[in-house]
Structure 1
């Protein structure tokens, strides 16, 4: 007979996998494939080529060396099933050594009742995941930016826990004469140090490519790219269905409107003939006194529901 511990672990593991629709793969720590902050998620995660944002540490560490001042960001993420998440990012240049950053993302699945085989209540148990990223980035001849993160991951489901170490690496090329930037990153390249049970599992390796273009006669930046290019597919070109597109429209120097579309997520969340707004996202950014920024995002998961994120950004110079 399966032990109570194994039953509770398997139940919570199943809940975690269902939660991350749109991020399925034969891997663990799939929370790492969720978009992190409000600005990036409002543009469907098309963030690998974005400049001057501390949250680049979660998508492309090379973006840290495009920062023009010390920056920090603190955010909260309301997910499905009363699942809550938080994130913190900070980056600055240190003398002539380069740019250093730190990023933390945390997700709490809440409390669950635990029962034995006879349905006797044994109390409650909790579950959470956390990842700490330590980043470094620098420039080569002004245009070319490169960076890497060392990432530590810890996960706990009831009495089962796991840990891992991973590497993120990326590059970003700035083309100011074309008002354009191009980026690429490889995320979550690593291994489990301690598995949940007896078998080691793969980390959710993610290869991303992207381009950002500021339009010449319109205050609009268009971001387009691909994510999950490292996932396994029967046909090679199927991976390019993972296209993500985002736009940021500057209403004025204080207000930005954003919209995004994730093609693969829309297909993953299709239920029957109904699909609704699944895969679409939108958001708003408000700046105050050049030192503070409030970002909000809304992401539709179709009939399953929707998610909301809020971030507060700080320029610390």
Structure 2
């Protein structure tokens, strides 16, 4: 039975996989970092199976009984007037220890000055997007594998244009309790627009990701490795600003080899005291670090760091990360135990 489920999962994945580049899909806010913990560990973590109720927004297979009656609220002041956040809650039913999960992701783009084609002011306008998700996970028989799924209802309003869509996330999780090792495969944003902005149907930001993590035996550290955007190869394009010229004036574009492409799919992170009341978190996103790198200038792009403090039934989290060469982002999170 387990082999059949995994085979069907992989066949579905293979039939739906398609390359997507940033800017070629709508509802890009679906791939925003969902919490300070995610941001601190590099931006995408798939394998945390604990109290963190926000984790299920990115991988529904991680929904578990420890999330019962946990409420999480997260907010980020991103760039300029753009602000976004997430909220999540889980509830465990009495029978068969089934846990249901609900989450919301929203982004407010602030206000903009509008002008017509000849430069006359048309006033100000705003933009915002929201996704509401419902998820559930279950153990596959008596194996070490868990399967989870969530459905998302998406609304978007950009000036006078509106759109509505629906999507699903699928996750397969492996837990080895003896080695304290987890691995996960996630397929995100399977779906489409139901109503379009102006009659043109656009693709959703489909993504396939694979992650691993393990708690070290004698050291209170849990390491994380995530391979993102596996549906896309190559993932990187030459940067025109890094073109070189020879003595004759002939220009050569930036060359990105096989290893360079592989490393751009990779995110690494580590969490110190992962099960304690105080955590220190560090992460590095190789793709973000490389794409924001400025020649002959050190700007620490791709690096992120955060902390978490638990006080009674509340846990506060904070993360500092660099997403542009001009500004930094600060992530704030609060999780409340309502039991």
Shorter-normalised TM range: 0.7 to 0.9
Determine helix, strand or coil for the equivalent of 1:202. Answer: coil
Matches within 5 A, 1:70-85: 70-85=69-84
Range with greater deviation from structure 2 (182-191 or 40-49) = 40-49
Separation of aligned partners in 2, 1:189 and 1:304: 34
Matches within 5 A, 1:1-80: 24-52=22-50, 53-65=52-64, 67=66, 69-80=68-79
Name the counterpart of 2:4.
Answer: none
Separation of aligned partners in 2, 1:30 and 1:115: 25
Is 1:112 aligned with 2:135?
A: no
TM-aligned CA deviation for residue 276 of structure 1: 1.4
Separation of aligned partners in 2, 1:252 and 1:209: 23
Gaps of 5+ in 1: 1-22
Is 1:128 aligned with 2:128?
A: yes
- Any idea what the Cα deviations from partners look like across 1:194-237, whole Å, max 9, x if unmatched? 12122211100111111111011111110111111123538998
Separation of aligned partners in 2, 1:163 and 1:296: 32
TM-score, normalization by structure 1:
0.87
Check conservation: 2:263, 2:286, Cα contact below 8 A.
no
TM-aligned CA deviation for residue 239 of structure 1: 5.6
Q: Sort the Cα spacing of 1:166 and 1:215 in 2 relative to 1 into closer, same or farther, 3 A.
A: same
Q: Sort the Cα spacing of 1:68 and 1:35 in 2 relative to 1 into closer, same or farther, 3 A.
A: closer
TM-aligned CA deviation for residue 66 of structure 1: 5.5
Name the counterpart of 1:95.
Answer: 94
Name the counterpart of 1:191.
Answer: 192
Separation of aligned partners in 1, 2:25 and 2:187: 16
Separation of aligned partners in 2, 1:239 and 1:164: 32
Separation of aligned partners in 1, 2:196 and 2:258: 30
Name the counterpart of 1:164.
Answer: 165
Range with greater deviation from structure 2 (236-245 or 181-190) = 236-245
Name the counterpart of 2:316.
Answer: 294
Separation of aligned partners in 1, 2:67 and 2:267: 27
Name the counterpart of 2:273.
Answer: 250
TM-aligned CA deviation for residue 116 of structure 1: 2.6
Separation of aligned partners in 1, 2:277 and 2:267: 26
Name the counterpart of 1:206.
Answer: 207
TM-score, normalization by structure 2:
0.81
- Aligned counterpart for 1:311 among listed residues 322, 330, 333: 333
Determine helix, strand or coil for the equivalent of 1:303. Answer: coil
- Aligned counterpart for 1:267 among listed residues 275, 286, 290: 290
Range with greater deviation from structure 2 (292-301 or 109-118) = 109-118
Separation of aligned partners in 2, 1:68 and 1:179: 19
Name the counterpart of 1:215.
Answer: 216
Check conservation: 2:263, 2:287, Cα contact below 8 A.
no
How many residues matched? 294
Gaps of 5+ in 2: 1-20, 236-256
Name the counterpart of 2:8.
Answer: none
- Any idea what the Cα deviations from partners look like across 1:27-77, whole Å, max 9, x if unmatched? 111111221111111101241011112112221101012636321101111
Separation of aligned partners in 2, 1:66 and 1:209: 23
Determine helix, strand or coil for the equivalent of 1:56. Answer: helix
TM-aligned CA deviation for residue 302 of structure 1: 4.8
Q: Max radius of gyration: which structure? A: 2
CA RMSD in angstroms, aligned pairs only: 2.1
Separation of aligned partners in 1, 2:215 and 2:303: 21
Determine helix, strand or coil for the equivalent of 1:26. Answer: coil
Q: Sort the Cα spacing of 1:233 and 1:63 in 2 relative to 1 into closer, same or farther, 3 A.
A: same
Q: Sort the Cα spacing of 1:239 and 1:154 in 2 relative to 1 into closer, same or farther, 3 A.
A: farther
